[in-house]
Amino acid sequence: MANVPSAPKSSNRTAIIAVIIAVVVVVGIVAISIGMSVAAKNNVKDNGVTAVGTPTGNVINFRDSGTRHNSDNWRVEYSFVVDGESYLAYGESSDHIRKDAQNRADQIGDVTVYYLPEDPSKFYVYDYGNFF
């Protein structure tokens, strides 16, 4: 009789199913996190009030180490004032080179900061401008 391959053992099938379930769960968690972040940003844009954000001269590195290659994400820091209290905000736009972010701040200048009046630390800054 010819050798006929046998069906995978039950333990192999169980391991494959477990891996598939784990991947689906991780992808689901990432999708939910991204969705919540976008929803929070939209809430600030839709329900927030505005202030003038002035570049502080600083660029902050939000280093992305979650990928195979660590990458620098330089963002411009802005200050804005609410009821006499100063807050710091960071632009949405990021550059991989520090000097590019500094040039962005110089070219764009003041920006509109959207923030929630009940919590000005929740902000959104669209600072893409006409830089590109």
- pLDDT given at position 81: 94
Distance of CA 83 to the CA centre of its chain: 28
Whole-number Cα distances in Å, 6 to 2, 3, 16, 91: 12, 9, 17, 59
pLDDT of residue 7: 56
Q: Is the pLDDT of residue 78 over 80?
A: yes
pLDDT confidence tier of residue 3, bands split at 50, 70 and 90: low
**Burial (Cβ within 10 Å: 0-12, 13-18, ≥19) of residue 114:** buried
pLDDT surpassing 80 at residue 112:
yes
Task: Give the tens place of pLDDT for each residue, 82-99.
Answer: 999 999 988 876 666 777
Residues 5-28 pLDDT 10s: 665 566 788 888 878 888 887 776
Q: pLDDT tens-digit profile of 31-76?
A: 565 555 555 566 666 767 888 998 888 887 877 656 566 677 788 8
Best CA proximity match to 79, nearest among 55, 60, 59, 58: 55
At residue 132, does pLDDT exceed 50?
no
Per the structure block, which two tokens stand in for 22?
Answer: 């784990």
Q: Are 87 and 97 in contact (CB under 8 A)?
A: no
User: Is the Cα torsion angle 106, 125, 50, 87 positive or negative in sign?
Assistant: negative
